[in-house]
Amino acid sequence: MPSSIEIKLCVLVCIFCTLNNNNNNNGGIFVGVLGGRSGKALTTTQAGGGGGGHVSSGGGGGGAKRGTTTPPNKQGGGSTTFNAFTSAWKAACGSTVASTVYIPKGTYMVGPVKFNGPCKAATVTVQMHGFLKATTDLSRYGSSSDWFEFGWVEGLTLTGGGTFDGQGASSWPFNKCPTNANCKLLPTNVKFVSTTNTIVRSITSLNSKFFHVVLLGCKDFHGSEIRISAPGNSPNTDGIHIERSTGVTISNSVIGTGDDCVSIGQGNAQVTITGITCGPGHGISVGSLGRYENEGDVNGLVVKGCTMSGTMNGIRIKTWANSPDASTASNMTFEDIVVNNVANPIIIDQTYCPYASCSSLAPSRVKLSDIFFKNIRGTTSSPVAVTLECSKGAPCQNVNLQDVHLDPSNGGSVAKASCQNIKAKYSGTQIPPPCV
């Protein structure tokens, strides 16, 4: 049996398969998606059940099947590129040995793609060096709210320095979510669904139509050296959103968007965020929580060594008023945070509700407890640097502020703190002065 399979997508020629016993010293499978320029007709060839040897557009390699695809669409996402990506993934995922999908340098126009498992391979690596551009035609996404989806895979690594460009500028005017609670969601750049033991490293996401990176139901996810960028006025372009996941670490990443740089949603446990440079955007947020029925609790969050510059918020915890069910968010530590010209460096907002239906508010039913703000320093662009607005129905418990030093960025008088439904604990430096 051959120890490796190489699948290549070549410019103007074909996708061909090579059965090569010497290609991979580790005995794994190597799957390459090579070349790739929009507007070119490509031919696909797949290895069949025959023996070894070279399988190309000329036949050979017993059992090969060959077919011609249509040219890619200039708007992005022609069927050729889509078929090449999905074929490469199927080959890698279906292997019984460790496998790699290789996407080299070049620009690829591609519509929505699903890289889903479960896989036979113990590990699958996507080595991405290319520049991927999403189609701007929203009709191509159908009912899907994702551009790239990695789902139900164990042992996935995504790396290589490549870029996902969502080309979202033409879609942002269609985003009605800031004003309409029943809006249709635009596509997310990259979503990870129910993955286990995942590594994402040295990847860039640009101009997503909606959220850039989403983790949903993941376990043991480790992201680092991720770069995310969208204009400060782009709606709902959250950098990394985490929901119903356990054992997540995000580190040493640069994020600038029109919304939260990192948002920690409901149902998360043991999440660690370190070394994030954030701005523009809305800072690092827990929430929003308490909007829907049956939301999971949040427990065990550490945010440490992060810098926010020119953002709306620094560290924010937001829960919905009128929340239908009770839930909790506890054991959260925010430490060694630097804010530069940030409007709300520290904010707990338990009356969050951005829609007109919020004119009559019932107290939030999300209980916040065991929260620690340590060594938060820098400058604020607003007169109120610390806002602790807790729920009247479920007041915050054991909120601690230690060594907080926040000066006005314009050099004016000392900023203020504002508190409701809370008796916080203070130690060390406190600028602004604590609430009385």
Q: What is the pLDDT of residues 336-374, one digit of tens each?
A: 999 999 999 999 999 998 876 666 678 999 999 999 999
The rounded radius of gyration (Å) of the Cα atoms in the chain is: 24
Digit-coded pLDDT (tens) for 3-58: 333 333 322 222 222 222 223 333 345 555 443 333 222 222 222 232 222 212 22
Beta strands 298-304; 269-278: pairing state: parallel
CB 79 within 8 A of CB 69: yes
In order of 88, 100, 145, 265, 431, the CA distances from 291 in angstroms are 40, 40, 20, 11, 33
Give pLDDT, residue 418.
Answer: 97
The pLDDT score that the predictor gives to residue 180 is: 80
d(CA 99, CA 92): 5
Residue 422 has pLDDT above 70, yes or no: yes
Q: Tell whether the model's pLDDT for residue 92 goes beyond 50.
A: yes
What's the rounded Cα separation, in Å, for the pair 110 and 39? 12
In angstroms, the CA 206 to CA 285 distance is 21
End-to-end CA gap in the chain:
76
Say what percent of the chain tops pLDDT 70: 81
Q: Which domains, and CATH codes, for the chain?
A: 98-173+185-354+367-431 (2.160.20.10)
- Quick one: tokens of 274? 């370190």
Beta bridge mates, 200: 158, 223
Closest listed residue to residue 115, CA positions, set 69, 80, 150: 150
Distance CA 310, CA 277 (A): 11
- pLDDT tens for 211-258 read 999 999 999 999 999 999 999 999 999 999 999 999 999 999 999 999
Instruction: Output the pLDDT for position 116.
Output: 97
Q: Which residue has the higher pLDDT, 209 or 25?
A: 209
Q: What is the pLDDT of residue 144?
A: 76
Reported as a single tens digit per residue, the pLDDT across 379-409 is: 999 999 999 999 999 999 999 999 999 999 9
Q: Which residues are designated catalytic?
A: 282
Distance (Å, whole) CA 287 – CA 350? 10
Region of 90 on the Ramachandran plot (φ > 0 left; ψ -120 to 50 alpha; else beta): alpha
pLDDT for residue 31: 55
